[in-house]
A = this chain, B = another copy of it.
Amino acid sequence: MYVLLVYDVKQARVGKMLKLCRRYLNWIQNSVFEGDITEVKLKELLANAHGFLDLDEDSVLIFKSRSQHWLEKQVVGQERNRLDTFL
């Protein structure tokens, strides 16, 4: 399935969250990832995130779609992922 993941986590945990998400999805903007992923792999990602996130402070939104086909993406301004390799 296609997944869009957006997180808003405290600065202290941003690095860990970024690194974790990169193992499963493609970075498209500051704190936004997308990609094709199985339910099992998504559960794995979230189980890992639960290990260090503070759910009283942090927030992760996940939008799932059976296929990317149902979503049209429009980019205004910079496409951040072009810089991905430099970060």
Q: When A6-B6, A6-B29, A8-B29 are in contact, do A63 and B59 touch as well, CB less than 8 Å?
A: no
Given contacts A46-B76, A70-B70, contact A29 B59 (CB under 8 A): yes
Return chain B residues, CB-CB under 8 Å to A53. 76-77
Q: Which of A25-78 contact B (CB under 8 A)?
A: 28-32, 46, 49-50, 53-66, 70-78
Closest Cβ of chain B to A85, distance in Å, is: 17
Per the bound structure, the CA–CA distance linking A21 and B32 in Å amounts to 18
Number of interface residues of A (CB under 8 A): 36
What are 8 A-B pairs with beta-carbon distances under 8 A? A4-B63, A8-B30, A53-B77, A57-B77, A57-B78, A63-B63, A63-B74, A66-B70
